[in-house]
Amino acid sequence: MSTKALEGIKVLDFTHVQAGPACTQLLGQLGADVIKCEMPGSGDATRDWLRDVEGADSLYFTMFNGNKRAMCLNARTAEGKDILTRLIKQSDVMVENFAPGALDRMGFSWENIQKINPGIVLASVKGYAEGHANESFKVYENVAQCTGGAASTTGFWDGPPTVSGAALGDSNSGMHLCIGILAALQYKNRTGRGQKVNVAMQDSVLNLCRVKLRDQQRLERTGKLDEYPHNELKLPLGDSTPRGGNAGGGGQPGWVLKCKPTSPDDTNNYVYFTVQASAWAKICDMVDKPEWKDDPNYNTFEARRDKFFQVIKYIESKFQDKDKHEVTRWAAEYDIPCGPVNSFKELAHDPSLRKVKTIVEVDHPVRGKYLTIGSPIKFSESEVEITRSPMLGEHSEEVLKSLGYSDAEIAAMVANGTTALYGK
């Protein structure tokens, strides 16, 4: 018996770019049968974004579309609408992240989809929530990082708003959508009823910026945010949660501290070091400052607030003869939460990440071996298998036949541009 958690769940994947594909890829990794539908000829635009191997799908596409089958489907033709109808009938979940209204314009409004399959879960990502003043606007990753509050609170106080390297707008929205789908499937198990699940990218970003909204309310109520660097550096706070550089979130102040480089061109020779109140005595022991333990000018969180940079500069001075990995292990001996600023070179080649299958290598018939990120969710029983992304139209024929189309009908649909078959 298969131990895959979502074995037997059929997903109609009408997604593109990143937010939707990240969601359906995770569903596929968890064992669902995901059929990605793409426009014949062109497919998901990301197939050729920043191509690094001539003639092969880009890493953007391959890294967000593993664990899927792929078929070509032009839902603008009458036959295409018939295929989509048959797919909707047999699916537990349909996922899409087209521009607002695109599905309606195709003739597949939620009302129509429910008529075809009342038990289906229709899951969508859009830039803004339904009913929001901007609900009809198109949105990409960094736009959402800006609209959801991440950019205005990331970076340094004397620099511009900054977007994160993490895909807070796209993949994060996809992960929220995945949670919504799993909840809707559970609801369907109980009631037999399908439903529409919508996730807005702005909301998903905002959901990860909860402490920034906390700070906005504290600022409005008290005019102060004592744990921000602004306090010690005598900078104006302004009237909105400011950019705090590398400051911690409150109870566990911290900063990036420079260590010995691991090579002459190492630009990531830092650790993030936390000055957690409960670990103060251990920090004093670690950096050879036992006198700070009982000094009322240092031994409380409040006392250190106006000398945080002085404290961390001193701690940093102790790290100059150790690299970030040595400092991390040294801090761990004292139970102090601290970790290296890992470069992507280090992450890509980290034996531990390979061992725990968080970074995995898969083989692709056109591009050869490539690295992708495995499931960050580990199960005691359920198998998570990571497979390569499909070629455009690789499974068109197989899926169309399973839907009941004959060879002659498939040939006619290839001829009129409703579908396309890989390699034919």
Ligand X SMILES: CC(C)(COP(=O)(O)OP(=O)(O)OC[C@H]1O[C@@H](n2cnc3c(N)ncnc32)[C@H](O)[C@@H]1OP(=O)(O)O)[C@@H](O)C(=O)NCCC(=O)NCCS
CB 39 within 8 A of CB 74: yes
- Which residues, 6+ apart, have CB-to-CB distance to 199 below 8 Å? 123, 124, 125, 126, 173, 176, 177, 180
Surface-to-core class of residue 199, CB atoms within 10 Å of its CB (0-12 exposed, 13-18 middle, 19+ buried): buried
Nearer to ligand X, 139 or 287 (CB): 139
Instruction: Report the candidate in 60, 87, 59, 57 with the shortest Cα–Cα distance to residue 73.
Output: 87
Phi, psi dihedral angles at 323 (to 5 degrees): -80, 175
- Which residues 6+ apart lie within 8 Å of 359 measured at CB? 347, 348, 350, 353, 371, 372, 373, 374
Binding mask 123-152 for ligand X (x = CB under 6 A): --xxx----------xxx------------
Stretch that binds ligand X, among 5-13, 97-105, 152-160, 343-351 (CB under 6 A): 97-105
Q: Is 295 known to be catalytic?
A: no
Return the number of the residue (37 or 259) whose C-beta is nearest ligand X. Answer: 37
One of 170, 321, 323, 335 is an active-site residue; which one? 170
Residue among 244 and 393 whose Cβ is closer to ligand X: 393
Residue with tokens 């078959």: 421
Beta bridge partners of 227: none
Q: Is 171 in the site for ligand X (CB under 6 A)?
A: no
Shortest reach from residue 407's CB to ligand X, in Å: 23
The closest of 181, 208, 194 to 20, measured between CA atoms, is 181
Q: Which is nearer to ligand X, 269 or 418 (CB)?
A: 418
In the complex, least distance from residue 206 CB atom to ligand X, rounded to whole angstroms: 15
- Please report how close the Cβ of residue 114 comes to ligand X at its closest, in angstroms: 19
| SS3 per residue for 141-195 | HHHHHHHCCCHHHCCCCCCCCCCCCCCCCCHHHHHHHHHHHHHHHHHHHHHCCCE
Q: Work out whether 37 is an interface residue with ligand X (CB under 6 A).
A: yes
Footprint (CB under 6 A) of ligand X, residues 5-24: 17-20
Among the listed residues 29, 97, 147, 418, the single contact to ligand X using CB under 6 A: 97
The piece of 2-10, 67-75, 230-238, 318-326 that touches ligand X (CB under 6 A) is 67-75
Residue 137 C-beta: closest distance to ligand X, Å: 7
* Stretch touching ligand X by CB under 6 A, among 53-61, 95-103, 155-163, 358-366: 95-103
SS3 394: coil
Q: 12, 5 in Cβ contact below 8 A?
A: no
**Closer residue to ligand X, CB minimum distance, 259 or 421:** 421
Q: Which is closer to ligand X, CB of 148 or CB of 244?
A: 148
Non-local CB neighbours of 2 within 8 Å, separated by 6+ positions: 31, 383
Which are the catalytic amino acids? 170
Question: Residues interacting with ligand X, by CB under 6 A?
Answer: 17-20, 37-39, 73-76, 97-99, 102, 105-106, 125-127, 138-140, 170
